[in-house]
Structures are given as C-alpha cells and as structure tokens.
Chain A
Amino acid sequence: MTIAVVAGLLAILPFVGAAPFTITLLTEGLIFAIWAMSLDILVGYTGLVTFGHAAAFGLGSYAAGFFAREVTTDFFVTLLFAEVVVIAVAVTIGFVVTRVSGIAFAIISLCIAQVLFQIAVAWRDVTEGMDGLVGVPLPKMFGVTINAGTELYLLTVVTLAAVCIGLRRLVESPFGRTLQAIRTNEDRAAAVGINVRLNKWLAFIISWAVAGVGGTLMVFLKAGTTPMSLHWTESGNVLVMTIFGGLGTLFGPVIGAISFVFLRDEFTTRFEAWQLAFGFVFVVVVLAFPTGLAGIIARVWRSLWPVRS
C-alpha cells in the first residue's frame, strides 16, 4: 500500500514541473535503488558482504545492450534474455562462492567480478573492449518506443515498485526468515535443519536476478555501457549506497541510492571533494549508525510519534 502511494507520487513528478535533468537523475537513482535492494538481500538479510555486486548489474547491462543492438529492442524480450544470462552465471558462480562466508566471500566475489571485468575488456568481438557497447537503441513495448526522459522514468518507477513488492514479500516469507537466521548464525541455522548452502545459493541467485533488472534499465538509460560498470569500485559504490541507507530494511537502500546520486551530482558540481565528504559520511555511518539512514529516520519517527501502550 505504502509502496503504491510512493510510486504514485514519484510517477506524477514529471507532470508537476520537475526539470528534465532532475528526472534523468532520479531515473538513475531509482535504477540504483533496484540494484541496492538486490544487494540488501545478500548483505542485509543473508549477511554476505560482497565486493563484486557490480558484476550482476554490469552483466545485465551487457546482455541487454548486446541483445537490443543485435536482435530486438522489445523491452520484455530483452529483459528476458538478460535475466537468462544473469541467472545462468549466478547459478554457476553462486554454487561455488556460497561455500564460504565473511571475508573470504567478500574477496572471492571481488575476484570473480574482476574476472568478468577483464572478460569485458578482452572479448572485443562481443563487448567492444574498453570502449564498451555504445548506441544501444531505446526499448520498445508492444511495438511502441519508450522515449528517454519521462517515459523511461515511468517505466523505471513501475519496475521499482514491482521489485519492492516482490522483495518485501520475499523477506517476510519463511525463506526471508531463513536468510536472517543464516545471517545471525550459520551453525545455529544448520542445527534447526536449514540447508545453509542451498539457501545462500538461492539468495545469491535472486539477488543477481534483481540486479540484472537494474542493469537492463541502465543500459537503456545510458544508451550503452562500459567495462567500468563491472569494476570493483562500482561494487564498492553500491555497497556504500546500501549501507548508507540502512542494511536489512529494503527501503533504506532505496533512500541510500537516491541520495547517493543526488549528493554525487551536488558535490561534483560544487567542489571536487565529493569522495571525501561521502567517504566521511559512510565511515561515520558504519562506525556509529549501523542501521544507516533508515535507522535514523525510524528513530526520529518514533520520537515524534511515540507508540502508546
């Protein structure tokens, strides 16, 4: 319900005078939000910190971009193709990496993402190397072209809402609780009969699949992608957005992603130290507010409207 209201409010923004530039920026923020939520499933709910989540997003971009250029620009077919590729890779990689946890998982996921990055650089026939895929055409839906700007923005809002609803259901389901149990203590989870590896594997695949949706939208927004979309520093960025927004909350990462995009825009136009400011805020959040922005908002909310009992 809340999701529908928020999505509705977002959807009318272009018609109440929001500047085209703001809309484009917001589109990017909402796409990042999808990506950050997918990361929250892994990091916030399952407790698997990854420095390789750019791989899922970038792979979705490459697959969708390649397909849109070579085969068809139909949004649904392109998305389907991208998802098949992303899920196939996630099934393979996930099977192996979910054998481990903690630091080992973080570093291995980083290494594997770098493998994809290097492949994107080296496999020039398909990826066009360092130049990346350029000139990806706009998507079509039911034969009608989705134009850049408002139309692509609305598509993003609808997709984000669908992802929100789906993931909200997921984390409230028995499976979602299972993941939280694994995050809290893998041994204890195994002792209540949870197949830890299987569940981590499923979480990994779901997380990648959702990130692939974001990657697909992004390749249409940017009309292309480069290997940098797979680079581990991008993985770091999405981790920053997610933690900044608040792990294990789903709505936190949405706020985190949107503020990331706008803060970055604000800082880079004003002065050059945006990394300094953002790094500082991030460190403070990790050190002092492990629940992120979402936690701070929740606290303020409760102090304004205390629950009477």
Chain B
Amino acid sequence: MASPLVVRELSKDFGALRAVDGVSLEIQDGQVHSLIGPNGAGKTTVFNCVSGFLRPAGGQVLLDGLDVTGWPAHRLVAAGLARTFQITKVFGDLTVFENVALGARSRLGRNLQMWRDARNVADAQAGAEEILDMLGLAEHAGANADHLAHGDKRILEIAIALALRPRLLMLDEPTAGMSPGETAHIGDLIRRIAKHTSVLLVEHDMEMVLGISDEITVMTQGRVIASGTPDAVSRDPHVQDAYLGEVDVMNL
C-alpha cells in the first residue's frame, strides 16, 4: 500500500525569496508526522503547497501514490486530503452542525444538489452527528459557530476536516492560542484520530510534538535539516543549533 503522502523536492519562491527549497518527506500509514522549525522556516508554505492553496514552483506531491502536484484544493479533498487553518476559519454564521454537515455532504458529493432540502441528506446528517459526538461538540450543535469559545472553534476546525473522512489529515498549529489543559486534550484527540487516519502536524508546542509524534521533520530556512523519531531528532546537533539560534534571535 502506498504511503498516504510523499513529498519530493518541493520548492516555492515568493519573488526573489526561496521560501521552500527542495523539501522531501514521507508519511507512513497511521502515523502522526510533525513538521517543526523556527518561525519563517517555510512550514506553512509547504503546508499550503501540499493542500492546494499555493502552486509549488517545483517538485512532486503524491497522495496515496497518485501524483496530485498543483491540484486545486477542492480536488485534493476529493482525493482524500483534509486540512485545518492556523487562523481559525470556521463558517461563522452557519451553525456548528451545518459546518460539519457541509464537510459530510462534500464527501458524499452532495453539495451541488439544488432540489432537495439540505436537512434531508440523511447519511450526511448522521455522519455529522457522529463526529460532533466524538469530539464533544454535540451540545453546541445548534449554536452559530461564531459564538463558540476559541478552543471549541479550534476543535470545530478539526471536526469539519474529519467529516471529509480523509486519508490524510493536515493540522496547521491546532493548539494556537490554547491553554495547557486544552492543548493536552487536543494531543489526545490527535492520537485517537491517528488510529484510522494519518496526520501531518505543524505545531509550535514542542512538548506536545515530542509526546505524540511518530516521526518528526525539522525545517529551517526552507530546507529539511533533520528527520526521524522524536528521540533521534531531539538529540540531533543541527536541530539544537537551529532552536538555540532562534532563542538567541528572540532575546536580542
């Protein structure tokens, strides 16, 4: 069985700046794979290139063995890739339930139907309910997504993505702005998800990354400097350099 995601020699320029320079990584089935690195390392750019929000300048993206390089986001979703956003982008004026149901209908290819009531697409309704239950959002189902607390919005992001029943789930800093307690909750959640879906995680919280990842890829300045198990990566001298370097810059 092909890996859920293989990225080969990916590159991307912004004007004269080479934001991503020959990045390769491979995600194994049923694993949590984290992509880390200091600010400006190009993680989010990789993320956007893989998920179809940016067109890569070079390289290859294989999803389940299928070459999907440069595909638009909505086709990638159909091919089994779902993502969340670093800055929360839930559908604010729709209900929590409808947010998830949109994902569920999308997976069933129902979003273009014009002549039937959205509430009558039974399997999508059931799928959405199941996911809300699983993530503990069921009590908020009827509320407008805008009215959720920040932490719940972050979880809703994940719920929408899960409703797409992806082969690969890409999470862009899911714990941004969360309390330590909430962060731990998200960590557990990701481990549970990984039982049936591979996860690519971009995250700043090192403790969590080291705790839940099966494999870690470290980037600085658009390149991969290390890749391996959490143990191996945290002992890697290059990685220590990179992070100490960042600390120095921050203290200036």
Contacts and interface: CB of A to CB of B under 8 A. Distances in A.
Interface of A: 169-170, 172-178, 180-181, 184-185, 187-196, 199, 202
Given A178-B102, A187-B85, A194-B74, 8 more contacts: A173-B113, A177-B101, A178-B111, A180-B94, A185-B89, A187-B89, A195-B74, A199-B112
Most A CB contacts (10 A, CB to CB) among B82, B102, B160, B163 go to B102
B90 interface: yes
A191 B111 contact: no
A187 B89 CA distance: 8
Interface string B149-165: 00000000000110110
B69 interface: no
A55 to B, nearest CB: 23
A173 B106 contact: no
B113 A196 contact: no
B106 A172 contact: no
A212 to B, nearest CB: 18
Contacts of B83: 191
B103 A192 contact: yes
B89 A181 contact: no
B112 to A, nearest CB: 6
B118 interface: yes
B111 A194 contact: yes
A169 B117 CA distance: 7
A184 B77 contact: no
B91 A174 contact: no
Interface in B85-132: 85, 89-94, 98, 101-103, 105-107, 110-119, 121
Contacts of A172: 117-119
Interface of B: 51-53, 72-74, 77-78, 82-85, 89-94, 98, 101-103, 105-107, 110-119, 121, 160-161, 163-164
A191 B94 contact: no
A191 B82 contact: yes
Given A180-B93, A190-B72, A174 B113 contact: yes
B160 A192 contact: yes
Given A169-B115, A174-B118, A193 B106 contact: yes
Given A178-B112, A193-B106, A196-B74, A188 B118 contact: no
B92 A184 contact: yes
Contacts of A189: 91
Given A191-B73, A191-B77, A173 B51 contact: no
A132 B49 CA distance: 53
A3 B38 CA distance: 59
A292 to B, nearest CB: 15
B91 A188 contact: yes
A64 B45 CA distance: 52
A192 B77 contact: yes
Contact of A173 (B94, B115, B164): B115
B74 A170 contact: no
A195 B52 CA distance: 12
A177 B114 contact: no
B91 A173 contact: no
A202 B114 CA distance: 11
Contacts of B121: 174
A175 B77 contact: no
